[in-house]
Amino acid sequence: MKVAFVAPPVPAVPLSNMQRRYYFYLFASRAFTVFNHLTGQDFSRFWMLEPVHLGLLQLISFLEQHEIECSFFGPISPEGNDVDREEMLLRKILNRADEFDVIGFSSITASYRTADRMARRIRQEYPDIPLILGGNHAWVRHEEVLRDSVFDILVHREGEQTTLELLRAMERNRPIDGIAGISFIRDGKVLKTPDRPRMDRSLLPMIGYEHLEDNFSSEELGGDDRISIPISRVTPLTGCTNDCVWCADFWKPKVTGQNPDRFRAEVTYLMERRNSRFFYLGTHDFLHHLDRAMEIAGLMGSLRPEMHWEAQTRVNPAATREHFRRLREADCRCLHVGVESANQDLLRVMGKNIRIPEVMRMLEYAREEGIETHTYWLVGSPLETYETARQTIETMSQWLRTGLSSTAEINMLVGYPGTDFYEHRQNYGITWVDPDYSHYDGRNQPTFETKYLTKRDFEYLFHRAMDEYCSVMEEIIGSQEQVTTKLGDRFPNFDPAFMEAAF
């Protein structure tokens, strides 16, 4: 059995001038601190991050362990140039389609329309190849997707075991009704089998990075023979025990760990074979188990002196200064912390379960111990008003000015299908949602309106927040001209086609 797995591109994000200015300052402020060891060559390779689809590459390595041959098809913008990524990818799949028994697409909400369009073209030319779809959009909208698209079978939630059983059944022409975690149409009716319990992910083989080059020419790789991943995202821990009403992450409610030996092998591989020079620990709650976090930090610290790292975490009031000192000793350069709103009432409405004084205390400890802090803020939190948004923007600026937060990321809240915020919109005063799924991405344009704020209000407040960030950063690191001179060639291309993959 041979299967093609496709990561369709997320449409290029149109950026306003203010967004470009904001990304300039956001990146520059990090380039002087956490990325200060990266070279011009590292930055010039950022476009190579685009095809790295961790979920699909993990699925592929698992299936190959069970002797299913796989080929990975991902999007790329060679050397950052603006190209028709969808058409390029489709051509490649069509050219090789008759080699495959099944073609599988992965999609988040923003890439669903692209996956749908590509699948239709394949169905037209190769009507007999079964088409399957996985990724979180498929299963939160399974009825709509099965009725409106050409996909034959949807894989829900974690894909490894389900896809293996599904492909085996298809190979042997056996019924698929008894396979947990799928949906399909039979006799005009949508059928969904029961969900599957979470698997023990510590048993999984290494992510199938070796498949990255399956379908790229050396020209597409800018003359290199391998994709470099200067900043690697690794996940020694996955999941989050919290449940924010707008969170579209389904790796909840448990925090589970990767096998430490496998994790070590992965970071070593990325350093040695993929030119990784920085690790972003994409855990949602790094400090959830403090002892475990210290162990992981110890491992990361042993990669010194050429390697540096940062991690994402929730606020843990039990973390002491001593923990931050140990993190710093292990060369943790930065902690990413979701604050979202400065208004405690809104934090309660969104179910964030953090308290502002505790957030401040944790940031203070980190800063005092010499760790940078990167905070996340939202415009458009549930029940946001002009006043609460202004309070958030002022607080963010104040924290930046006083050094409590070294850098800050501002996003417009996107209410993703499947979340409580989207599905029970009457509870949040939502009066309109954008029907175009391709807007549910990193473009930061409003995807809803509420009784309190219109699209124009959201746009204004978001731009105001970015303007504030730029003003503070201008005071701290200088004007755009000064910063550009100081950075020299150590600056990435902010082309919208691939920047969503790079940040």
Measured between alpha carbons, how far is residue 127 from residues 7, 121, 139, 151 in Å? 21, 10, 24, 11
* CA–CA distance, 94 with 121 (Å, rounded to integer): 9
Instruction: Find the helix or strand (DSSP H, E) in which 388 lies.
Output: helix 386-402
Regarding 59 and contact with ligand B12 (CB under 6 A), the answer is: yes
Nearer to ligand B12, 301 or 338 (CB): 338
The site for ligand SF4, by CB under 6 A, has a size of 9
Say if residue 253 is preceded by a cis peptide, omega within 30 of 0.
yes
Name which of ligand B12, ligand SF4, none residue 61 binds, using a CB cut-off of 5 to 8 Å depending on partner kind. none
Q: Which stretch binds ligand SF4 (CB under 6 A): 43-51, 235-243, 328-336, 474-482?
A: 235-243
Q: Does 500 bind ligand B12 (CB under 6 A)?
A: yes
Q: Which is nearer to ligand B12, 73 or 324 (CB)?
A: 73
For position 10 contacting ligand B12 by CB under 6 A, the verdict is yes
Task: Based on the shown chain and the rule CB under 6 A, indicate whether residue 240 belongs to the binding site for ligand SF4.
Answer: yes
In the set 3, 122, 244, 297, which binds ligand SF4 (CB under 6 A)? 244
Q: DSSP letter string over 397-413?
A: HHHHHHTSSSEEEEEE-
Q: Which residues pair with 184 in a beta bridge?
A: 153, 191
List, as one string, the DSSP characters of 179-210: -TTEEEEETTEEEEPPPPPPP-GGG-----GG
Give the distance, in angstroms, between the CA of residue 350 and the centroid of all CA atoms in the same chain: 20
Site string for ligand SF4, 164-193 (x = CB under 6 A): ------------------------------
Task: Report the residue from 152, 243, 369, 423 that binds ligand SF4 according to the rule CB under 6 A.
Answer: 243
By CB under 6 A, is residue 155 in contact with ligand B12?
A: yes
For residue 305, is the peptide bond before it cis, meaning its omega torsion is within 30 degrees of 0? yes
Is 257 among the residues that bind ligand B12 (CB under 6 A)?
no
Host H or E run for residue 237: strand 237-238
290, 261 Cβ separation under 8 angstroms? no
Rg (CA), the chain: 23
413 near ligand SF4 (CB under 6 A): no
Counting contacts by CB under 6 A, is residue 414 touching ligand SF4?
Answer: no
Residue 181 site contact among ligand SF4, ligand B12, none (CB < 5 to 8 Å, cut-off depends on kind): none
The stretch among 144-152, 243-251, 294-302, 472-480 that binds ligand B12 (CB under 6 A) is 243-251
Indicate whether 110 belongs to the interface with ligand B12 (CB under 6 A).
Answer: yes
Tell me if 338 contacts ligand SF4 by CB under 6 A.
Answer: yes
Extended strands (E) in 148-300: 153-155, 182-186, 189-192, 231-234, 237-238, 256-257, 278-281
Give the closest residue to 59 by CA, choosing from 145, 167, 146, 142.
167
d(CA 244, CA 255): 15
Contact positions vs ligand SF4 (CB under 6 A): 240, 242-244, 247, 249, 284, 314, 338
Contact positions vs ligand B12 (CB under 6 A): 5, 10, 53-56, 58-59, 104-106, 108-110, 132, 134-137, 155, 158-160, 163, 233, 247-249, 251, 282, 416, 440-442, 500-501
